[in-house]
Amino acid sequence: MELALPCPLDAGWELVRTVVLPKRGSDGSPLGGFSAAAYQPELDRLWLLSDAPRGHLIPWSGLFQLLNGQSTTLHPGPRLLLRDRFGHPLPEGFDGEGLALVDNSAWIASEGRRTPDRLARLIRIDINTGRQKRVLQLPPSWREISGRGLAANQGPESLTALAPSELLLAAERPLLQSIDPLLVPMARVNQGAAVRPESTLQIQPLAEGAGLTELLALPAQRKLLALVRGFQPPLTWSAQLLLFPYPSGSDTPPPLQPVHGWNLLTAGLPPDNWEALAIGPKLRDGRTTLVLGSDDNFNPRQSSWLAVMAPRRTEACSD
């Protein structure tokens, strides 16, 4: 499904629905830590990736029905535990942060801690079994060596599909060796080959505790949506949605500058740790929605939220 942008852009976003997800599943085990999302419209199924110590995916059904008045709740399916190619659960601390569905595969980016047992990586799993099918190495400039690479717990954080055969990966904050503290690195992923550096995103001055938490490609508009989450202790949150041009794929791409931005909290989004972003179901009026999800960090003072937003569009807009 194609997502139309607000028209004009200053019209912003309408908060259609918020849902607080339960703290425990039907099996009694804790739910939470949701860091990425992907929606399958043909199945009305929303996949949420958890960064719990034992990484897993949970499918939720009924979002379209909920938004269109045909249901009053979402229904969680069984957890899909992430496993290695031999069928063993991935080691604790996998920390999945980015998710993209392509056919019967889920590509998942995990965040690193700059230790041998907690390295950042990109894997492909079978969405039916949870088994790992492939591991791709990150670009050399991203790898954890002295004074260089991704900072601990700073990515890769975002993953989106540019096309059926290409993904776009991004860190949360600049690389340690970056001269410009505003430039967040991206990488283009050819699913049949390597991961190579792409352009950077110029995120306007990042306060301490702020970072890029998700990317969403809009191929029809040749644009990217970037979710930037901020935090100031003890529990002050911010959430911005920035619009960027599409990456060019050239060998020496310039930094991408934001075209527009929206403060999502002023649109009504509850202040919390928003990390997930996906294209969601259509509304009765024909608008395609955005689905956002929050990571509760398994903190009893936070909630696992789902929020559905739709672009505001005036009658003069026909695209």
DSSP string, 193-220: S-EEEEEEEE-S---TT-EEEEEEEETT
Backbone angles phi, psi at 224, to 5 degrees: -120, 140
Percent of the chain with pLDDT over 70: 97
d(CA 316, CA 97): 39
List % helix, strand, coil for the chain (3-state, nearest 5). 5, 45, 50
Q: Is pLDDT above 90 for 146? A: no
Q: Is pLDDT above 90 for 119? A: no
What are the residues facing 1 on neighbouring strands? none
260 occurs within a structural domain: yes
pLDDT digits (tens, 9 = 90+) for 253-273: 889 999 999 999 999 999 999
This prediction's pTM: 0.95
How high is the pLDDT of residue 318?
67
Q: Is pLDDT above 80 for 319? A: no
Percent of the chain with pLDDT over 90: 69
69 occurs within a structural domain: yes
How high is the pLDDT of residue 307?
97
pLDDT digits (tens, 9 = 90+) for 36-84: 999 999 999 999 999 998 999 999 999 999 998 888 789 899 999 999 9
> Taking residues 290-300, what's their average pLDDT?
93
pLDDT digits (tens, 9 = 90+) for 206-242: 667 789 999 999 999 999 999 999 988 887 899 999 9
pLDDT-derived band at 25, boundaries 50, 70, 90: confident
Q: Write the CATH number for 122.
A: 2.115.10
pLDDT-derived band at 157, boundaries 50, 70, 90: very high
d(CA 12, CA 18): 17
Write down the mean pLDDT value for the chain: 91
Q: Max CA-CA distance within the chain? A: 56
pLDDT digits (tens, 9 = 90+) for 160-197: 999 888 999 999 999 999 888 789 999 999 866 789 98
What amino acid occupies position 283?
L
1 occurs within a structural domain: no
3 occurs within a structural domain: no
Q: Is pLDDT above 80 for 205? A: no
How high is the pLDDT of residue 32?
93
- Domain interval for residue 124: 9-311
186 occurs within a structural domain: yes
Q: Is there a cis peptide before residue 89, judged by omega within 30 degrees of 0?
A: no
147 occurs within a structural domain: yes
46 occurs within a structural domain: yes
Specify whether the CB–CB gap between 66 and 19 falls below 8 A: yes
2 occurs within a structural domain: no
CB atoms within 10 A of CB 285: 7
What is the total count of domains within the chain? Answer: 1
